[in-house]
Amino acid sequence: MIGIAVVSHSPRLAQSAVDLALEMVGAEGPAIAIAAGAGDGVTGTDAIKVAEAITEVSSPDGVLVMMDLGSAVMSAEMALEFLSDADGPVKLTSAPFVEGLMAAVVRAAGGASLDDVEREARGALQAKQTHLGDDDDELPGPQAGPAAEHSIEVALRNPHGLHARPVAMLVTAVSAFEATVTVANVRSGGLPVPANSPTALLGVGARQGDTISVAAAGRQAREALDAVNALVQRGFGELETPGAVAVPEDCAARPDRERSSEASSGGPIGVSPGLAVGPIVRMPEPLAEPAPAPELTLNERAEAVDRIEAAAASVARALIDKANRVSGAAREILEVTSMMATDPGLIGDARARVTDDGHTPERAVWAAVSDITSIFREQGGLLAERIPDLHDVRNRIVAELLGRPAPGLPDRAEPYVLVARDLAPADTALIDPALCRAIVTVEGGPTSHTAILARALGVPAVVAARHALEIREGSVVIVDGTTGMIVVDPTDEQVATAEQESGRVVAFDGTGRTLDGHRVQLLANVASPDSVAAALEANAEGVGLFRTEFCFLDHEEAPDVEEQVAAYRRVFAAFPGQKVIIRTLDAGADKPLAFVTAEDEANPALGIRGYRTAWRSPKLLDSQLQAIAIAAAAEAADVGVMAPMIATVDESIEFASRCADHGLRTVGVMIETPAAAITALDILQVVDFASLGTNDLAQYTMAADRLAGELALLNDPWQPAVLRMIREACRAGVATGKPVGVCGEAAADPLLAAILVGLGVTSLSMSPRALGGVAELLRSVTVEQCRDAAATVVAASSATMARTTAAALLVRA
């Protein structure tokens, strides 16, 4: 891709023009460097700065230099004389500064050559001139190209027709194909213009409802037309403003800079499909230890003691109320917890800290609970298991004393949409899908465990919604967990449509295959025995990933073999004769387990997590393998066992041998580090199968924390680098004849699922709700189409290009 150097008298003018141009292409734009002002805030230009800017964006494809006027041109010319180490040709253009820059950025993003970009930039005034009837025949007009072989006519559906953003998408889409494409507006009867020319397309003046005639010639003419048609049918993504938060009025005054940075960082992302409507309820911020405070005077202490008793009684009452609304185990737990709140030992200790030492009530309660938890921890066993309940009681009493909302999930009897900065997996796992209609978080990425659990629960979810906390509590919202759209205060009509749509489910008949009958096993990801019902209901062909760590998130101590056997048997028993792949504990990073996760690691995602925990706690792995073997022998499921976070062949050999010691016959590993993907051929020589953990594979390939909302654009399995890693592992599968599945979230994206099949993946495992959509798309394409599409898509230059190309090749309009 060429680079662009922008030379202006004014840094503000240059920056604004660049911002405007980049809005058309987002993160996929060319490298741009600005040389503006003469230093110290003085308006002017400086040849040295221009030379530096050119060098900064220098590329073998060349650099285009855009200038405003007068001395900017002279400085740019002079800069060429200083330039010693540009990597390719450098071209100065007389193109108009703003329109030319926009045209150049779009064309460059589509991979056009330096000459084509320059020609486009110079012709950039044409749309404006045509509109004002001010055509100038002297200007270089776009070339329409050779005679067309295929054509279609389509009506524009999006509200503003071919304006800048759709034009940029159209140019990007057609550049992916070996075809010459033209577009003409049938209404105005204008001549066809090339579809790779943004300015010419803008000049077509096509509005909503207009029919455009799209013609194409060349080897991939039909594919290019399909791509254009798919874009038009989807309204260029503008029919439902995907990814946009419709901000409430009181947020509307936010500076533009902030809004555009949200767009460029990925904005809100739908991570668990489905539509939901409901009033917003905010998750209270987590409670921190109360700060030290001056000692209470003797007169203050009596009142402080009364406050502790009142707060404890109020918490106990609230818990009893809650218990009365549920039944079974949940009721028992709540009743016991309510008793803890008024436990005489606990309250007595807190009182003594106030009366004897002058502690504030909140610090007294905090310290009293800390002492009890240390004793429980030392005792271990069942007492240690109660520590989370004690912490819950402590937090509730302290919140009551501080006049803050009770921590943890909001206690509601009516349906609501949960908004939180972030959610711990433990909180997400407790969500009641009957009440919590949708989840919206400010942080988090598509592969965060909150997103995964939301999918498992069947609750629509949107992450990276940076302004979600600004939405007023109680406002009604529509949340679209597919597109990431959040509509605040929707109209009655919008609510009615959303409610109707939210009931639609695509069913899966229980056999995954392509149109021509190529078998692809479609399996379910299971987080605990409780989530088995959803997998059975969705007709899953088995389980491709049983995340055992989710069974023990609330354990302070490692579960014994007996407890594990009981949990594993419940899952195995549900799938007699069917495949169940159970994964050994994948603790660490965002899934800490109190009994195994290393404390104080500087960089937990790169630390002792996954299989590495067995280095520190080998007995834990052995007890798990023993439990798996006992459970597998007791049930009729076809059990396979695999290890997470494998990075070396040696680890794979070691794991296989430990499994063999326990009589486990089908042994595999997860490929979720680039190291494992690259050495997959060697790894597959020593195990029976591999399963691609695309969530972590994306995180580690792109060096982007999967929890960071701001990095969501990088943390995307469509990134060509990730797709090429997957291809590497699939090649190893084909070469060794061993199965390679995918159990990361990539498997749940129907379009990507088809690409994965094309790359050679043999099974796909996903949240049960995604099975219908994936099965439906696979049934509409042949394996040959998947293979052809995969070959083109892995060669894409960006994630957007990969997605658009896949849609164009595989989705029927």
Q: Could you give the residue numbers annotated as active site? A: 449, 743
Q: What is the footprint of Mg ion within residues 662-681 (CB under 5 A)?
A: 672
Q: How far apart are CA 412 and CA 406, in angstroms?
A: 12
Residue 265: contacted member of Mg ion, ligand PEP, none (CB under 5 to 8 Å, by partner type): none
Q: What is the dihedral of CA 547, 527, 424, 773, to 10 degrees?
A: 110
The H or E element containing residue 776 is helix 771-778
User: For ligand PEP, which residue of 743, 764, 781, 783 counts as binding (CB under 6 A)?
Assistant: 743
Cβ proximity to ligand PEP, 203 vs 693, nearer residue: 693
**Which is it for strands 269-272 and 461-463: parallel, antiparallel or unpaired?**
antiparallel
Q: What x/- string results for residues 615 through 654 when contact with Mg ion is judged by CB under 5 A?
A: ----------------------------------------
Would you give the DSSP letter of residue 66?
E
Q: Which stretch binds ligand PEP (CB under 6 A): 159-167, 284-292, 553-561, 688-696?
A: 688-696
Cβ proximity to ligand PEP, 45 vs 691, nearer residue: 691
Residues contacting residue 721 through CB under 8 Å, at least 6 positions apart: 701, 702
We find the least distance from the C-beta atom of residue 742 to ligand PEP, in angstroms, to be 8
For residue 386, the one-letter residue type is R
Q: Which of 498, 383, 381 is nearest to 438 (CA)?
A: 498
Q: How far apart are CA 735 and CA 729, in angstroms?
A: 10
Residue 743: contacted member of Mg ion, ligand PEP, none (CB under 5 to 8 Å, by partner type): ligand PEP
We find the least distance from the C-beta atom of residue 696 to ligand PEP, in angstroms, to be 3
Residue 806, Cα to own-chain centre: how many angstroms?
A: 19
Residue 673: contacted member of ligand PEP, Mg ion, none (CB under 5 to 8 Å, by partner type): none
Cβ proximity to ligand PEP, 6 vs 645, nearer residue: 645
Q: Does 400 bind Mg ion (CB under 5 A)?
A: no
Q: Does 705 bind Mg ion (CB under 5 A)?
A: no
Q: How far apart are CA 544 and CA 80, in angstroms?
A: 60
Cβ proximity to ligand PEP, 145 vs 544, nearer residue: 544
Q: Which stretch binds ligand PEP (CB under 6 A): 104-112, 190-198, 270-278, 692-700?
A: 692-700
Asked if residue 308 lies in contact with residue 393, where contact means CB atoms within 8 angstroms, the answer is: no
Q: Which of 620, 617, 685 is nearest to 652 (CA)?
A: 685
Cβ proximity to Mg ion, 223 vs 549, nearer residue: 549
Cβ proximity to ligand PEP, 534 vs 697, nearer residue: 697
Q: What is the footprint of ligand PEP within residues 447-466 (CB under 6 A)?
A: 452
Q: Does 693 bind ligand PEP (CB under 6 A)?
A: yes
Q: Does 695 bind ligand PEP (CB under 6 A)?
A: yes
We find the least distance from the C-beta atom of residue 428 to ligand PEP, in angstroms, to be 13
Q: Does 696 bind Mg ion (CB under 5 A)?
A: yes
Q: Does 705 bind ligand PEP (CB under 6 A)?
A: no
Q: List beta partners, residue 66.
A: 6, 93
Q: Which stretch binds ligand PEP (CB under 6 A): 293-301, 501-509, 689-697, 796-804?
A: 689-697
What is residue 276's three-state secondary structure? strand
Q: Does 744 bind ligand PEP (CB under 6 A)?
A: yes
Q: How far apart are CA 44 and CA 768, in angstroms?
A: 62
Burial of 500 (0-12, 13-18, 19+ CB in 10 A): exposed
Q: Which stretch binds ligand PEP (CB under 6 A): 125-133, 340-348, 388-396, 687-695?
A: 687-695
Number of residues that bind Mg ion (CB under 5 A): 3
What is residue 486's three-state secondary structure? strand
Q: What is the footprint of ligand PEP within residues 421-440 (CB under 6 A)?
A: none
Q: Does 586 bind ligand PEP (CB under 6 A)?
A: yes
Enter the tokens of residue 789: 């599409």
Cβ proximity to Mg ion, 659 vs 669, nearer residue: 669
For residue 393, the one-letter residue type is V
Q: Does 524 bind ligand PEP (CB under 6 A)?
A: no
We find the least distance from the C-beta atom of residue 694 to ligand PEP, in angstroms, to be 5
Enter the tokens of residue 108: 């460059």
Residue 547: contacted member of ligand PEP, Mg ion, none (CB under 5 to 8 Å, by partner type): ligand PEP
We find the least distance from the C-beta atom of residue 609 to Mg ion, in angstroms, to be 9
Q: Does 672 bind ligand PEP (CB under 6 A)?
A: yes
Would you give the DSSP letter of residue 611?
G
**Which is it for strands 542-547 and 521-526: parallel, antiparallel or unpaired?**
parallel
Cβ proximity to Mg ion, 112 vs 671, nearer residue: 671
Residue 274: contacted member of Mg ion, ligand PEP, none (CB under 5 to 8 Å, by partner type): none
We find the least distance from the C-beta atom of residue 644 to Mg ion, in angstroms, to be 6
User: For Mg ion, which residue of 668, 693, 709, 741 counts as binding (CB under 5 A)?
Assistant: 693
Cβ proximity to Mg ion, 480 vs 672, nearer residue: 672
Report DSSP letters for 618-647, one per residue. Answer: HHHHHHHHHHHHHHHHHS-SEEEEEESS--
Asked if residue 745 lies in contact with residue 774, where contact means CB atoms within 8 angstroms, the answer is: no
Q: How far apart are CA 56 and CA 66, in angstroms?
A: 15
Q: How far apart are CA 214 and CA 185, in angstroms?
A: 9
Q: Which stretch binds Mg ion (CB under 5 A): 157-165, 478-486, 686-694, 762-770?
A: 686-694
End-to-end CA distance of the chain: 31
The H or E element containing residue 102 is helix 97-109
Q: How far apart are CA 73 and CA 164, in angstroms?
A: 28
Q: Which of 279, 276, 244, 284 is nearest to 475 (CA)?
A: 279
Asked if residue 443 lies in contact with residue 742, where contact means CB atoms within 8 angstroms, the answer is: no
Q: Does 749 bind ligand PEP (CB under 6 A)?
A: no
Residue 93: contacted member of Mg ion, ligand PEP, none (CB under 5 to 8 Å, by partner type): none
User: For ligand PEP, which residue of 58, 584, 597, 694 counts as binding (CB under 6 A)?
Assistant: 694
Q: How far apart are CA 710 and CA 772, in angstroms?
A: 30
Q: Does 696 bind ligand PEP (CB under 6 A)?
A: yes
Which residue do the tokens 């741009």 mark?
32
Number of residues that bind ligand PEP (CB under 6 A): 11
Cβ proximity to ligand PEP, 64 vs 614, nearer residue: 614
Q: How far apart are CA 447 and CA 679, in angstroms?
A: 24
We find the least distance from the C-beta atom of residue 683 to ligand PEP, in angstroms, to be 16
Q: Which stretch binds ligand PEP (CB under 6 A): 407-415, 694-702, 768-776, 803-811?
A: 694-702
SS3 letters across 396-447: HHHHHHHCCCCCCCCCCCCCEEEEECCCCHHHHHCCCCCCEEEEEECCCCCC
Enter the tokens of residue 745: 């979230």
Q: How many residues does the chain have?
A: 813
What is residue 738's three-state secondary structure? coil
Q: Which stretch binds ligand PEP (CB under 6 A): 139-147, 296-304, 309-317, 690-698?
A: 690-698
Asked if residue 538 lies in contact with residue 310, where contact means CB atoms within 8 angstroms, the answer is: no
Count of C-beta atoms within a 10 Å radius of residue 422: 17
Q: Does 480 bind Mg ion (CB under 5 A)?
A: no
Q: What x/- string results for residues 212 through 251 when contact with Mg ion is judged by CB under 5 A?
A: ----------------------------------------
Cβ proximity to ligand PEP, 338 vs 701, nearer residue: 701
Cβ proximity to Mg ion, 259 vs 609, nearer residue: 609
Enter the tokens of residue 411: 């206690």
Q: Which stretch binds ligand PEP (CB under 6 A): 177-185, 260-268, 646-654, 691-699?
A: 691-699
Q: What x/- string results for residues 545 through 584 when contact with ligand PEP is judged by CB under 6 A?
A: x-x-------------------------------------
Neighbouring C-alpha atoms within 13 Å toward the C-beta of 424? 14
User: Residues interacting with Mg ion, by CB under 5 A?
Assistant: 672, 693, 696
Where on the chain is the footprint of ligand PEP (CB under 6 A)? 452, 545, 547, 586, 672, 693-696, 743-744
